Amino acid sequence: MRRRFLFAVSIVALLHVYIGLRLIPALPFGPAVDTAAVVFLVLSTLLLPLGLIARGIASQPLSDRLSWVGLIAMGLFSSLFVLTLLREPVLLLGTLALSANGLTKLVTASAVAVPVLALVVSLIGFANARRRARVVQIDVPLDNLPAALNGFTIVQISDIHVGPTIKRRYLDAIVNKVNALQPDVIAVTGDLVDGSVADLSPHTAPLARLQARYGAYFVTGNHEYYSGADEWTAELRRLGLHVLLNEHVVLDHDGSPLVLAGVTDYSAHHFNEAQRSDPQAALAGAPDNAGARVLLAHQPRTATAAAKAGFDLQLSGHTHGGQFWPWNLFVRFQQPFTAGLNRLNRLWVYTSRGTGYWGPPKRFGAPSEITRVRLVTAG
């Protein structure tokens, strides 16, 4: 583990050296600014690991404060590195298309633009991440939906990641907004926490206030398994949430049954073979006359098995919509869907961009959301 950590730190240091070599010589401000830029890159190299190791520090609030510093540095570095890379093809095109004088101006201007844009993107991303998630309204048209279920509403929250930088006040605001929507069902589709019950239970307490006609339901995400899934399952049940572990409930809505099922995270078997994700088992014994079959599954890639099992709708999260550009471009290499409403054969899949954030407090091009899903008759 120590060897891996040192290797990762070495890579981070080399990437900072690359940024410095590509940008600092082209800056037009003189030795003082060049020196300040070098100092910044050295500090950034030292601060980045804090976001990952600070949780190992028992002392509070020191641990959380160091996490804040390290994670903000991580978000800024990410944009700085990506923009430095993108500058390279711009300079290559300039070499081919511009005069020597024009190329010199481009080299200088782009060297200034990269850190300025990285800072602006990080500031906007920070504001987006820390604001209360907006409500996204989604209508899902289902064939043969009974009239009684037309308009049935599920409010989905996902990927809140209560932990070093997301605390009780943040979650309180989410709960208030969810309750104001007066849903029939509340679905919490995993990655609720990043930390132990002992550390975070005071901050997840607002979940006890969730109110819906048929209650609030939870399925595990991969981060629950990093944080102690069994302990969190017990804690969430204590708070009044219904935890669905490859099982379902039947909701009688105005005389029409709706099956609401939930599976453990797609990767759960790596932590506990007994909790292997199984949509077929989650639907076992469900009534044949159900007006709709809805599955809560943290990762979108459960969809293939969910479609085979016979579900009509899957609600997922996990991807964060990429959280901030350009990482949204890479999600599709691991998940079939990045965000929004998609279809796989007969199965509708809605992938939430998440209600919180993970890692750097930064969202850019992938806004957080509280999703109000309404079942409607197709046609």
One DSSP character per residue, 253-317 reads: ETTEEEEEEE---TTGGGT-GGG---HHHHHTT--TT-SEEEEE-SSGGGHHHHHHHT-SEEEE-
Block residue for tokens 């969190």? 232
Q: Is the pLDDT of residue 51 over 90?
A: no
Strand, coil or helix: what is 310?
coil
Q: Is the pLDDT of residue 52 over 90?
A: no
Q: For residue 206, what pLDDT band results from cuts at 50, 70 and 90?
A: very high
With vertex at residue 121, the alpha carbon angle to CA 119 and CA 123, rounded to the nearest 5 degrees, is 70
CA torsion, ordered 30, 33, 34, 35, to nearest 10 deg = 120
Q: Give pTM, 2 decimals.
A: 0.93
Question: Cα separation of 121 and 45, whole Å?
Answer: 20
Question: Cα separation of 239 and 297, whole Å?
Answer: 21
Strand, coil or helix: what is 183?
coil
pLDDT for the residue 244: 98
Q: Is the pLDDT of residue 1 over 70?
A: no
**Mean pLDDT score, 157-177:** 97
Lowest mean pLDDT of 42-46, 185-189, 246-250, name the range.
Answer: 42-46
Q: Read off φ and ψ for residue 314, nearest 5 degrees.
A: -120, 130
**Mean pLDDT score, 170-195:** 98
Q: Is the pLDDT of residue 327 over 90?
A: no
**What percent of the chain is modeled with pLDDT above 70?**
99
What residue ranges define each of the domains in the chain, with the CATH number in brackets? Answer: 2-130 (no CATH), 134-377 (3.60.21.10)
**What percent of the chain is modeled with pLDDT above 90?**
89
pLDDT for the residue 49: 84
For residues 222 and 191, the answer to whether their CB atoms sit within 8 Å is yes
Q: For residue 55, what pLDDT band results from cuts at 50, 70 and 90?
A: confident
User: Residue 138: which H helix or E strand, with range?
Assistant: strand 134-142
pLDDT for the residue 56: 75
pLDDT for the residue 8: 82
pLDDT for the residue 61: 87
Identity of the amino acid at 33: V
**Mean pLDDT score, 35-61:** 86
Q: Is the pLDDT of residue 54 over 80?
A: no
**Mean pLDDT score, 206-233:** 97
For residues 190 and 302, the answer to whether their CB atoms sit within 8 Å is no
- Cα Rg, the chain, nearest whole Å: 23
With vertex at residue 151, the alpha carbon angle to CA 251 and CA 376, rounded to the nearest 5 degrees, is 105
